[in-house]
Structure 1
Amino acid sequence: WETALRHIVEAGIDRHSYIIAVGGGAFLDVAGFAAATAHRSIRLLRIPTTTLSQADSGVGVKNGINFMGRKNYLGTFAVAWATLDDFLFLHSQPLSLKRAGLAEVVKVAVVKDASFFNWLEANASALAGCERDALEYAVEHSALLHASHIACGGDAFELGSSRPLDFGHWAAHYMETMSGYTLGHAEAVSVGMCLDILYSVRKGWLPAAEAERIVSVLKTLELPVFHPLLSRRTEDGACEVLKGLEAFREHLGGHLTVLMLTGIGRGKDVHEIDAALMEECIREMQEAAGDSVQE
C-alpha cells in the first residue's frame, strides 16, 4: 500500500486524474486502497485479470489488505469509476489459476441462483477444462449476480450484519490466516463452503441430495473439499478454525451472522453455531477425504 501511494505521489496524480489498475484481486485491493485514501479519493478504473477477480472481487465496492495477522483488516468501501472485464486476460492465465477462481462462481450460484447452478452442474466438465465459451459465460453471469446483489441488495456498504456473498468465508478467511496466507482464497472458499454445506445438512436445513450435487460440482472442477488446517488444534486442544467465527463477527460487528443453506439458491442467516456439531462435520469431512494429517 505504501509503495502504491509512493508511486501516486511521485507521479503527481491529483483528484482529477484516473488510476488504472490491471491485475488480480490482491493487486486490485492494494491499488484500490491507495486510490481511495490518496487525496481522500482518486478515480479508479479496475481491469481484473483472473477468474476470481473478474467473477467476484473486481466488481465489488470493497478493497482490503491484511494487517497484524488479520484478513482484510485495513481497507475502505469505494466504488470504482468503472470495471472492465477483458476476456483476453481471462484466457491468458495458467489452467490451475483459471479453474480455481470458479469457487466464487459456484458460491454465488448456490446462494443466489438455482438455475445458474443447474447450468454449472450441466457444464462442469467443460468448465473443468476451461473451455472458452463455458468459462466466459460463467464468469460474466457470476459478475452480474455479484454486482446485482451489491447494487440492489440494500446494504452495499455492509452497515448491517448479513453478508450472503460471504457464504463459507468465515472458515476460509481464518484458514488463510492460519496458513500464513500460503493457502489461496479460492481453495479456502471451496473448503469453507463444504464445511457449511455439511453443517446445513446436519442441522436439517439442506437436503443431503442437494449437498451432494454441490460437492460433486466442486470435485469435478478439481477444487478442494477438505484441508488439514480444519483439523488443527491449539495447545489447549481446541479446534483452531472455530476462532474464525469470532473473527468473522468482529470484522462486521454486531451479532454473529453466518449464512447457511436451505436449498440450492436459498439461504438463511443464523446467529449461533453449535461448535460440537461443527467439529463433527470437520471429522466427517476428514474421514471422507481419507486424510488424517494434522498440521
Structure 2
Amino acid sequence: MNVIQQSFQVPFTFNIVFTKDLFSTENHEFSKFLSNFGDNSFQKKILFLIDAGVAEAHPKLQNAIKTYFQGVSNINLVEEILVLPGGEQVKNNTKYLDETLLAINKYGIDRHSFVAAIGGGAFLDMVGYASTIAHRGVKHIRIPTTVLSQNDSGVGVKNGVNFLGKKNFLGTFSPPVAVFNDTNFLTSLSDRDWRSGISEAVKVALIKDLPFFEWLEANALAMANREMNIMHEQIFRSAALHTNHISSGDPFEMGSARPLDFGHWAAHKLEYLTNFEIRHGEAVAIGIALDSIYSKLLGLISQEDVARIITLLKNLGFTLYHEKLGENDKLNLWEGLNEFREHLGGRLTITILEKLGKGREIHEVNFELMKQAVDELKMTLD
C-alpha cells in the first residue's frame, strides 16, 4: 500500500474594529482597510447587502455609502445595494441565498473583491454562507448592527442557513476578512433587540470569566436602561472572550465540544417551536436558566448560584419561561437534544456549569432531571 501524507496550515487573521459613524466621510477606517488589504494591482469591487430592518431604521445609510465611496479611489462600489429581509426569515427561505449568489455573479465579484453585509446575526450568517460558496470563497466583510452580532455571532467564523427545519443545517466555517462594529447602529434597536444580545455575554461569562459575570450583575440595570458606554464595554469584553476562545481552541469544531453553546441546545429547539416568535437571545436566556438549574440538580452549583443567574437575567428584562418548553410532556425538548447530538456528529456534548465562571462538558443528560429543571424554571414566573 502506498500512502502520501499531506499536512498544511492556513493562517487566518482579521481585525474587529470598534468605531462610530463608519460611513462618515471623516471616518477613514473602512477605506484604510480596503486600501491596505490584498493586491492593489487587481481592480477590486465591493457589493453591499443591507438588512431591510436596518435600511428602514437608517434611511440615509445607502446614500452615505455612495457618498463615502466617491472618495475611495482604489475600489469600485457596485451600483446596486441589495436590501433583503433580516432575522431568521433570511435563513429559512433559500430564495434570499439565491438572490445573493445571483448578485455576486451579476456584478463580477471575484476572489479579489468583497461582499459587505450590514445587518443582524442571521443576515450575516446567510451572506457569509453565500460568500463562502461563491467561487469557493469570495472575501466577506461583516458590519454587525445588533448587540448579539457585535458581541458574539458577527465576530466569529460561522456562516449558515436553515434547511429541512433544522437550524444551520447548511453552513461553513469561514472567517471574514474584517468586522466593523459601529455603535451608531445600536441606537435604533428596539428594547427587545437591545436586550437580546446581552444573553450571549452572560453565557460566556458564566463558563469562562467570573469577574465579567460580576461586572454584568453590577451593571445589569444600566444596560437595561440603555446606557451606551456600559453597553459598549459589555460588547467589547464579550467579543474578546468569544474570539479568544475561537483562536485558542478548536475554531472549526473538528471535535464535538462546543462550550460556547452553553444554553443553546434548548434555545435552538425553542426558536423553532415558537416559529421564531422569540429572538435568539431571548431563547438563549431561557436555555441558560434551564441548564443552570440542571447543573444545580446535578449537585454542581448551589441554589444561591442559580438565584444570582436568574436575578441577573430578570434584571436585564428577560422572561425565563415559555409554555412550549413543557408541551407534549417535554418530549419536544428530548427531540431537541437528539437534533443537537446529530448536529455535533453523533455524540452529544453539552456544557453545564461546574461553578460560576467555569463550564463543564457532559455527554449524556438525565432527562427526568431535565424535566424537573423545566418545572423549576416555570416557577420563576411567579
Q: Shared topology, TM-score over 0.5?
A: yes
CA deviation profile, 1:41-69 (whole Å, cap 9, x unmatched): 00111010000000100011001111111
Equivalent residues, number = 286
Alignment map for 1:96-175 (pairs within 5 Å): 96-153=192-249, 155-175=250-270
Query: 1:239 Cα shift?
Result: 2.2
Larger C-alpha radius of gyration, 1 or 2?
2
| Distance in 2 between residues matched to 1:107 and 1:129, nearest whole Å | 21
Determine if contact 1:171/1:242 at 8 Å carries over to the other structure.
no
Query: 1:223 Cα shift?
Result: 1.2
Seq. identity, %: 46
The corresponding residue for 2:75 is none
Determine if contact 1:226/1:285 at 8 Å carries over to the other structure.
yes
| Distance in 1 between residues matched to 2:301 and 2:278, nearest whole Å | 28
The corresponding residue for 1:196 is 291
Query: 1:158 Cα shift?
Result: 0.5
TM-score with structure 2 setting the length: 0.73
CA deviation profile, 1:214-272 (whole Å, cap 9, x unmatched): 11110000012111110110xxx562112111111110114211111011111111111
Q: Which amino acid aligns with 1:176?
A: E
| Distance in 1 between residues matched to 2:207 and 2:255, nearest whole Å | 18
| Distance in 1 between residues matched to 2:274 and 2:339, nearest whole Å | 16
Determine if contact 2:145/2:185 at 8 Å carries over to the other structure.
yes
CA deviation profile, 1:10-55 (whole Å, cap 9, x unmatched): 1111111011111100110110000000000001110100000001
| Distance in 2 between residues matched to 1:75 and 1:243, nearest whole Å | 21
In the alignment, structure 1 segments of 5+ residues that lack a partner are: 291-295
Determine if contact 2:199/2:285 at 8 Å carries over to the other structure.
yes
Matched, 1:20 2:112: no
Q: Which amino acid aligns with 1:208?
A: Q
Q: Which amino acid aligns with 1:251?
A: H
SS at match of 2:162: strand
| Distance in 1 between residues matched to 2:115 and 2:290, nearest whole Å | 39
Matched, 1:264 2:356: yes
| Distance in 2 between residues matched to 1:183 and 1:238, nearest whole Å | 18
| Distance in 2 between residues matched to 1:34 and 1:13, nearest whole Å | 12
Determine if contact 1:239/1:279 at 8 Å carries over to the other structure.
no
The corresponding residue for 1:7 is 103
CA deviation profile, 1:121-152 (whole Å, cap 9, x unmatched): 01111011120111000011101110000011
The corresponding residue for 1:66 is 162
| Distance in 1 between residues matched to 2:202 and 2:355, nearest whole Å | 14
The structure, 1 or 2, with the larger RCO (C-alpha pairs under 8 Å, 6+ apart) is 1
Out of 127, 133, 154, the position equivalent to 1:31 is: 127
Query: 1:211 Cα shift?
Result: 1.4
